[in-house]
Structure 1
Amino acid sequence: MRLVPDTIAGRTIAVLLLGLTALHLASIWAYQLGLDSEVGLTNAARTAERLISIKSTLSRLPAEKREETAHTLSGGALEVHYSTVPLAVAPAVMTGPASALQSEIEKSTKTHRDGGLIVGTPAQGTGTRTDPHLTLVSMRLPDGGWVNTNIAVLDGAHNSRGAIIVSTALMALGVLGIALGMARSVTQPIRKCAEEAKRVYVTSEPQPIPVDGPKEVRELAASFNEMQLRVKKLVDERTLMLAAISHDLKSPLARLRLRLEDVADEDVRRAIETDFDDMLQMIGSSLEFLRSDHTGEERQRLDLGAIVRTICDDFADQGLAVTLERQDKAIFTGRRLALKRAFANLIGNALKYGQSATVRVLAAPQNVTLEIEDQGPGIPEDELEKVLAPFYRIEASRSRDTGGTGLGLTIAQSVIESHGGTLQLKNRPEGGLLVRVVLAKVEGS
């Protein structure tokens, strides 16, 4: 499972959400800590002031009236008693609130730890149940008597966990909404750039992407648009140059063919004519290959199933074993002549080298698939990628005697890729070759 998001939007949201949540929780914790400390000190000071006032009042009364007066002074969180012995014992470990209370009492009475002040838990045998929220304070009077005070919930409970959770959740939702908007504004132009990169030369002309968004994204879009124009110019110049060379070669070759008539040796003349035929076929195939990438043919909506049926019918009329096993209605936007030439090359190869061809046209909501199966020897696994290269032929099955130039598959692949599709060759387990063409439908198909 991936812990770090894989997209810029995901990482931006994660950084904002986690970072701000951590800072929010840390700030709330620091604030709560300071608040609790301040409240504790305030409670301790006020309680100490009241205890000192009670002690001062009882110290001025006769001993027989002190208990009655102590009950009168009790109230709220304080319960006051008078006795001749202390009822509190000092704990082994003093809690924070108790320590603060003791410090405030000693500070106000200007006394020291001389045993006249005990802040802690009930003494054994007092009959008072020990309670973690109960603090006992015993203060010695000048004549030796003791004022014993039970203090309930000295520091008070300030539980704000619920408020913290709600505050953090609201902050997280707010950050998430803002982050989604920010990430979308940043990543949408980048995603558009990626989509257009896949469509380079799928359309007849480069499609500039909008130059908007942050500065970095604008620079990326502008650079991409400039790259598209440069690539198109480079490819156009290369295509036109090679097409011109291939075309110009026909004239001297035609003159040489005429001069062959002067060769007296019949065998030599026949051999040279065969070589000339091969050269002319190669030049013709080269021109066809170059035209496949530079035809200027307009795109139109067409039914690929109908085109494939026409090709299969043409081969069947020639007495070849071709079967159209399935023909879905496959509406696609593309260049009709280029696609027909590519499909004819693929089906023709299956018939030439595989003795028969079984063809299927499969339509899906997002793509169109053409499958061609033959009964031939197939292609060695290490040759499946190589046969797509220009002028590459497998000598064992595709010698010059068959008339192949090694450009049929290259032309088909060029046409298919110019339509945003893929061409895959795969050997069938039962024998023969499977050719699969997948054309992804784009908007408007």
Structure 2
Amino acid sequence: MNTLRAKLAVLLTVVIIAVVCILTSILVYLFDPPNEQDAISPLVDQIEFLTQVRQIAPKLVVVQEAAAGGEVEANLTAWIRDALMARGAPRDVIVSRKNDLPLLSIPVDQGWIVAQIPDLPPAGGIFHLLLIWLALTTLGMMAVALFFANRMVKPLVLLERAIETVGPDAVLPELAVTGPAEVRVAAKALNSLSSRLKGAMESRMRLVAAAGHDLRTPITRMRLRAEFVEDEEDREMWLKDIDELDRIADSAILLVREESGKSAPAPIRLDILISDLVDELRTLSYDVTLTNSAAGTALANRTGLSRAFRNLIINASTHGKRARVAVQSTPKEIVVVIDDDGPGIPVDLIGQVFEPFFRVDRARMKQFDGAGLGLTIAKEIVQRAGGSIKIENGSLRGLIQTVRLPACSRI
């Protein structure tokens, strides 16, 4: 009911039904059809009159041996018999229809008096027919309203589907400028917005890449000068800060490469990739355990996906003391769950974990190496592969990192 299609259909139906009801009411008022009593009373009077004439002057009334043939109108017959019963003159009259003419057969002593009568309103009166008429009109108008509502919102549905195809780079696809004037204006505006957005993102990528590249030269000079610092403690502090600057520059350049990368995806056995990563990180003294490894194939860039999971697992084993990795597989998707035993993240900050250079506690920056771009890069890689990452606090402790990737049947 919240969709534009449903609202248009309801609006059209209500308007048309309202117009039909008003016009029908006006016609009923102008023609003033008789009610049940007004329609049946003259006919009952006619039956009583004919039976009396038959008794007083038999030659004036033609009597047939049998009742009029044709299809018996059971409802009208019962209706007239009830009216005669109410008058105190019960008689088993028969109303039939022959050659599309309503005929009344009145039983008398020597046979039947047959007379043609006008069509009577149905039992229940004219309003019974009006209710049926309005019900049929409502159903018909609903079908027509739904048809035209679909036609009216079809261009908007095309725009909605086009917007839903926005890729991981957040750039809108080119929309066809067709349809009504309003839709064409909207399509042109979206195409213009997409072009400006694409230009702004490319400019940002070039700026970040240039800044990361240009930092290399002063960082190298600073490293050389730091080597000549006489005080060993000061020299170590300088070199540590320079190493951090170097990591930030490398991470920024890597982020730009991931966001602008166009590497063709290929089928990857995700369970094998994760198993190899766990073995590699364990040799580097990271506390990582593979708790489950269900076979599954994903379609992605192997180098990028390996980098993403390496960042996530290292993040768990470094900040969460130890990491446990489980690979689950269904026919439609592959789920990788990474949980740890760390302190977790405050609820008011957990929505910022994928922001560049995010730190839960700025005071802990010196305790762990890294530029604060690991999760940002991992999210970019996973989204480019058509997947998603969700990070939440565990029920008792630590973080739970859940990666979902669409399953691929090709191997």
Q: Note closer, same or farther for the CA distance 1:21–1:302 as it changes in structure 2 (3 Å cut).
A: farther
Q: Note closer, same or farther for the CA distance 1:173–1:128 as it changes in structure 2 (3 Å cut).
A: closer
CA offsets, 1:378-398, max 9 Å, x none?
Answer: 222233123332212233884
Q: Once structures 1 and 2 are overlaid, which stretch shifts more, 301-310 or 272-281?
A: 301-310
2:304 to 338, 345, 357: 338
1:36 to 19, 32, 38: 32
Partner of 1:412: 378
Q: Note closer, same or farther for the CA distance 1:304–1:69 as it changes in structure 2 (3 Å cut).
A: closer
8 Å Cα contact 1:200/1:228 also seen in 2: no
Shift of 1:440: 5.9
Partner of 2:70: none
Partner of 1:296: 262
| Amino-acid identity (%) | 27
Partner of 1:157: 121
TM-score by length of 1: 0.66
8 Å Cα contact 1:353/1:397 also seen in 2: no
What amino acid sits opposite 1:215 in the alignment?
A
8 Å Cα contact 2:21/2:134 also seen in 1: yes
What amino acid sits opposite 2:7 in the alignment?
R
Gaps of 5+ in 2: 62-85, 91-116
Partner of 1:256: 222
Shift of 1:12: 1.0
Matches within 5 A, 1:39-438: 129=88, 157=121, 159-161=125-127, 163-202=129-168, 206-364=172-330, 367-395=333-361, 398-438=364-404
8 Å Cα contact 1:320/1:351 also seen in 2: yes
Q: Name the CA distance, whole Å, in 2 between partners of 1:192 and 1:328.
A: 39
What amino acid sits opposite 2:222 in the alignment?
L
CA offsets, 1:132-166, max 9 Å, x none?
Answer: xxxxxxxxxxxxxxxxxxxxx99963534554444
Q: Name the CA distance, whole Å, in 2 between partners of 1:192 and 1:309.
A: 43
Instruction: Find the residue that maps to 1:360 and give its secondary structure.
Output: strand
CA offsets, 1:265-288, max 9 Å, x none?
Answer: 333333222221111111112222
Q: Note closer, same or farther for the CA distance 1:13–1:300 as it changes in structure 2 (3 Å cut).
A: farther
Q: Across the two proteins, how many residue pairs are aligned to each other?
A: 348
Q: Name the CA distance, whole Å, in 1 between partners of 2:323 and 2:281.
A: 10
8 Å Cα contact 1:323/1:358 also seen in 2: yes
Q: Note closer, same or farther for the CA distance 1:199–1:333 as it changes in structure 2 (3 Å cut).
A: farther
Gaps of 5+ in 1: 55-66, 76-126, 132-152
Q: Name the CA distance, whole Å, in 2 between partners of 1:266 and 1:68.
A: 140
What amino acid sits opposite 2:281 in the alignment?
F
Q: Once structures 1 and 2 are overlaid, which stretch shifts more, 182-191 or 282-291?
A: 182-191
What amino acid sits opposite 2:21 in the alignment?
L
What amino acid sits opposite 1:182 in the alignment?
F
Q: Name the CA distance, whole Å, in 2 between partners of 1:398 and 1:163.
A: 82
Q: Once structures 1 and 2 are overlaid, which stretch shifts more, 245-254 or 177-186?
A: 177-186
Q: Name the CA distance, whole Å, in 1 between partners of 2:271 and 2:148.
A: 45
8 Å Cα contact 2:171/2:197 also seen in 1: no
Q: Note closer, same or farther for the CA distance 1:435–1:128 as it changes in structure 2 (3 Å cut).
A: closer
8 Å Cα contact 1:304/1:329 also seen in 2: yes
8 Å Cα contact 2:286/2:314 also seen in 1: no
Matched, 1:7 2:3: yes
Q: Note closer, same or farther for the CA distance 1:268–1:396 as it changes in structure 2 (3 Å cut).
A: closer
8 Å Cα contact 2:323/2:338 also seen in 1: yes
Instruction: Find the residue that maps to 1:382 and give its secondary structure.
Output: coil
What amino acid sits opposite 2:26 in the alignment?
A
Q: Name the CA distance, whole Å, in 1 between partners of 2:126 and 2:300.
A: 66
8 Å Cα contact 2:163/2:172 also seen in 1: no
8 Å Cα contact 2:229/2:235 also seen in 1: yes
TM-score by length of 2: 0.71
Shift of 1:191: 3.2
8 Å Cα contact 2:9/2:142 also seen in 1: yes
Q: Note closer, same or farther for the CA distance 1:337–1:163 as it changes in structure 2 (3 Å cut).
A: farther
Q: Once structures 1 and 2 are overlaid, which stretch shifts more, 16-25 or 273-282?
A: 16-25
8 Å Cα contact 1:366/1:441 also seen in 2: yes
8 Å Cα contact 1:387/1:406 also seen in 2: no
CA RMSD of aligned residues (A): 3.9
Q: Once structures 1 and 2 are overlaid, which stretch shifts more, 241-250 or 267-276?
A: 267-276
8 Å Cα contact 2:323/2:340 also seen in 1: yes
8 Å Cα contact 1:186/1:217 also seen in 2: no
8 Å Cα contact 1:413/1:422 also seen in 2: yes
